[in-house]
């Protein structure tokens, strides 16, 4: 662990590796897809069981599970993302917190602590739970200050248990400094803020945001306000969802929204369940109209854009991935190393090669590392086992477009180019049409 710079917390890498080992031990497309499907099943089943237990309504549970799964496709969880196991753990944490007993708050905290070891975003759920306790004491007065102090202490102690065990584990491995930096300091202190994906996020999640806002407004209009606003499940879900959106202040990548999705789905489902009984006949007509409209859209799409339908049913032969692998491997012998600057993760993954630098991409974490190691590329190329260097397809040269012009990255890339000009020759690949730099042969 930490031989390479991580982009997530440590348990995510263990989870993926163990999952792939159970599924056969090789990172094929089929096995990775199967692991994603298993995550989906976990989200769906957990959402249904937990909400059904808490609300005693199979309709509410089904809608929650359906929306939680549907959101996966709009929020990038159909890629292999840690937000999936985090969501499962947080959903079960909701179950224990909603029971609202002291021991249950401790168990809920432990589950969120485990989620934190997947990705630091889980911390915001704890903040949401704390906000609920404040609300319970000072707004609806279901608990006194001493009672919420007990619950708050227990959830924090539970949350701390997995984190302290992690610290002890990495201390024993002599990797405590790296663990603390990449798990706590970098995510909260050094990860850069940007709005590169804001427009994309709004387009992809507008429907879900609309349903959430509409549901909250409708919940405010019911005569019996306690039906929702004094309901522990509803309010913890609402606070979980709202506080988990805090991470969007850093980046608006779609998967940053997903930690809120299962809990806003609970809110939507609970409100829908109430109003569906009142407006049953009108809703049936709406469903019929939506069904006819959907069929019409499919027919028009099939007639005018048949290739869209074909993309949904054709089985990919992964030819381009095979090309990535062959491009690297046909230029290297056993024991040779390659430095793949842009889109590096794809090429490393498919070729089963590893670099002699502690990173496999040039994303934001790598830019942070380069701040203190501007000679990392230079030293890499001075290693005589480094036989191949190439840059991918981006005009930005590195993956992290936000830091391409920082002094540190400029210095590092200048040293790289200097070393390339001295000890490497360049050719254009005949298949991918990218420039390949080969080490000069010794005379």
What tokens were used for 99? 């029971």
CA distance 350 to 28: 9
Domain definitions of the chain by residue range: 10-276, 279-315, 319-439
pLDDT tens digits, one per residue of 286-303: 888 988 988 998 888 778
**Residue 180 clears pLDDT 80, i.e. is over it:** yes
Least confident of 34-38, 208-212, 215-219, 276-280: 276-280
Nearest CA-CA partner of 91 in 228, 244, 320: 244
CB 178 within 8 A of CB 358: no
Average pLDDT, the chain: 90
**Residue 318 clears pLDDT 80, i.e. is over it:** no
CB 241 within 8 A of CB 67: no
CA atoms within 13 A on the CB side of 339: 27
CA distance 64 to 60: 6
pLDDT tens digits, one per residue of 242-272: 999 999 988 888 999 999 999 999 999 999 9
pLDDT tens digits, one per residue of 319-361: 788 888 898 999 998 889 999 887 788 888 888 888 999 998 8
Q: Tokens 């400094």, residue?
A: 177
CB 353 within 8 A of CB 335: no
pLDDT tens digits, one per residue of 353-362: 889 999 988 8
The whole-model pTM stands at 0.90
**Residue 32 clears pLDDT 70, i.e. is over it:** yes
Q: Measured between alpha carbons, how far is residue 333 from residues 40, 339, 351, 378 in Å?
A: 40, 14, 12, 22
Phi, psi of 154 (to 5 degrees): -65, -40
Confidence of residue 114 (pLDDT cuts 50, 70, 90): very high
Q: What is the mean pLDDT of residues 93-119?
A: 96
DSSP per-residue string spanning 325-356: HHHHHTT--TT-EEEE-SSHHHHHHHHT---S
- Characterize 126-135 residue by residue with b for buried, 16 or more Cβ atoms within 10 angstroms of its Cβ, and e for exposed: bebbbbbbeb
What tokens were used for 344? 């590096």
Nearest CA-CA partner of 116 in 247, 295, 253, 218: 247
Q: What's the farthest any 2 CA atoms get from each other in the chain?
A: 88
pLDDT tens digits, one per residue of 374-415: 999 999 999 999 999 988 777 667 877 777 788 998 999 899
**Residue 443: its pLDDT value, please?**
58
């Amino acid at each position: 662990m930490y031989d390479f710079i991580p982009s997530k917390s440590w348990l995510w890498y263990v989870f993926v590796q163990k999952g792939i080992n159970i599924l056969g031990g090789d990172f094929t497309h089929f096995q990775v897809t199967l692991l994603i499907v298993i995550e989906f099943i976990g989200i769906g089943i957990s959402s249904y069981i937990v909400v059904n237990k808490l609300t005693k309504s199979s309709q509410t549970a089904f809608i929650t599970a359906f929306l939680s799964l549907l959101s996966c496709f709009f929020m990038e969880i159909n890629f292999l993302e840690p937000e999936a196991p985090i969501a499962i753990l947080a959903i079960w944490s909701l179950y224990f917190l909603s029971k609202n007993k002291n021991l249950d708050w401790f168990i809920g905290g432990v589950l969120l602590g485990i989620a934190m070891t997947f990705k630091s975003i889980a911390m915001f759920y704890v903040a949401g739970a704390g906000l609920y306790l404040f609300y319970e004491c000072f707004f609806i007065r279901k608990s006194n200050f001493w009672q919420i102090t007990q619950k708050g202490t227990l959830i924090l102690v539970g949350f701390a248990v997995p984190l302290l065990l992690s610290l002890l584990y990495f201390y024993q491995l002599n990797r405590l400094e790296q663990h603390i930096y990449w798990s706590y300091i970098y995510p909260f202190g050094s990860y850069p803020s940007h709005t590169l994906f804001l427009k994309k996020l709004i387009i992809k999640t507008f429907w879900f945001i609309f349903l959430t806002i509409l549901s909250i407004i409708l919940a405010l209009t019911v005569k019996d306000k306690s039906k929702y606003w004094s309901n522990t499940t509803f309010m913890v879900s609402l606070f979980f969802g709202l506080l988990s959106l805090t991470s969007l202040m850093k980046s608006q990548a779609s998967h940053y929204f997903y930690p809120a999705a299962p809990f806003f789905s609970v809110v939507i489902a609970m409100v829908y369940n109430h109003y569906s009984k009142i407006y049953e006949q009108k809703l049936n007509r709406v469903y019929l109209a939506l069904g006819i409209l959907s069929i019409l859209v499919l027919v028009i799409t099939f007639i005018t854009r048949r290739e869209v339908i074909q993309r949904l049913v054709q089985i990919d032969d992964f030819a381009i991935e095979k090309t990535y692998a062959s491009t690297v491997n046909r230029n290297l012998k056993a024991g040779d190393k390659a430095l793949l600057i842009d889109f590096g993760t794809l090429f490393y993954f498919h070729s089963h090669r590893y670099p002699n630098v502690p990173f496999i991409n040039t994303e934001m974490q790598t830019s942070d590392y380069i701040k203190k190691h501007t000679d990392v590329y230079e030293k890499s190329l001075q290693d005589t086992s480094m036989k191949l260097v190439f840059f991918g397809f981006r005009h930005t040269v590195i993956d992290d477009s936000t830091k391409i012009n920082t002094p540190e990255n400029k210095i590092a890339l200048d040293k790289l180019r200097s070393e390339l000009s001295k000890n490497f020759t360049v050719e254009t690949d005949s298949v991918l049409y990218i420039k390949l730099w080969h080490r000069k042969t010794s005379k």
